[in-house]
Copies of this chain bind each other. A is one copy, B any other.
């Protein structure tokens, strides 16, 4: 990169209004997908998180499990049972999920942030009784798959007040003393609204919402949540995008200012989204 001092200064200066706008605001970042697999992408995400934190933004990093859960299940020779085509989480599987999420993925992220000069705290829904869950209701019994009953963000606020970046694994305890696995996108959405966050950023493996899913040039930059039903009817929101966008809509409805679907495959997509006028993904407001 051969960029002059003047250009570098200009770029920092252009970040100024965004720094002002987001000072002391809270961002919830849902981290998952390819950005968890590639070392280079993961380093870029961590750097972005630390940078946001340094310019005065309170960041909560909510993460999923990535392929490490599968890998561990394979190692112990666990065969996945399916119920009506859905994966059943028995107790042994749940134990692996908990261990990999809260013990491996979470603490590794904490370490990476620490190595970059940030101060992180690796938490899950059990810490400080943050998330209360119950067995997910539905036709099929999916075992220890849970749904959120209640969120108490005191622990997150305590951590952020003391200057930590909370890193959150989305497992949670029930009144029955079981531990449940919670969908990370949903948990991030609920945490964001409980914290009255300024932004929820969902990292995905797509460019954003595309009018034509095969043409990245048809990216829709901004969607008002009231347009979502129509976009679903037209088939523009479909497949795996439906639950992700539902999380975005839900968060906006519960008071999060803006939610973004961003492409985790691009390095520093968080910073580009936050510190530029156009952003690079799809914003819901």
Interface residues of A (CB under 8 A from B): 1, 3, 5-13, 15-17, 19-20, 23, 44, 47-48, 50-51, 54-56, 72, 75-77, 95, 98-104, 106-108, 110-111, 114-117, 119-124, 126-129, 155, 158, 162, 164, 171, 173, 177, 179, 266-268, 271-272, 275-276, 280
Please name all residues of chain B whose beta carbon is closer than 8 Å to the beta carbon of A47 when the two chains form the complex: 13, 16
The verdict on A272 contacting B126 (CB below 8 Å), with A19-B54, A50-B16, A99-B104 known, is no
Instruction: Please classify the interface of chain A as helix (H, G, I), strand (E, B), loop, or mixed, using the class held by over half of its residues.
Output: helix
Please name all residues of chain B whose beta carbon is closer than 8 Å to the beta carbon of A17 when the two chains form the complex: 117
* Interchain CB contact under 8 A, B104 and A124: no
A127 touches which of B6, B11, B19, B120 (Cβ 8 Å): B120
* Interchain CB contact under 8 A, A104 and B98: yes
* Interchain CB contact under 8 A, A128 and B164: yes
14 pairs, A vs B, C-beta closer than 8 Å: A1-B7, A1-B10, A6-B266, A9-B272, A11-B11, A17-B117, A101-B103, A102-B102, A102-B122, A103-B104, A111-B179, A114-B129, A119-B128, A128-B164
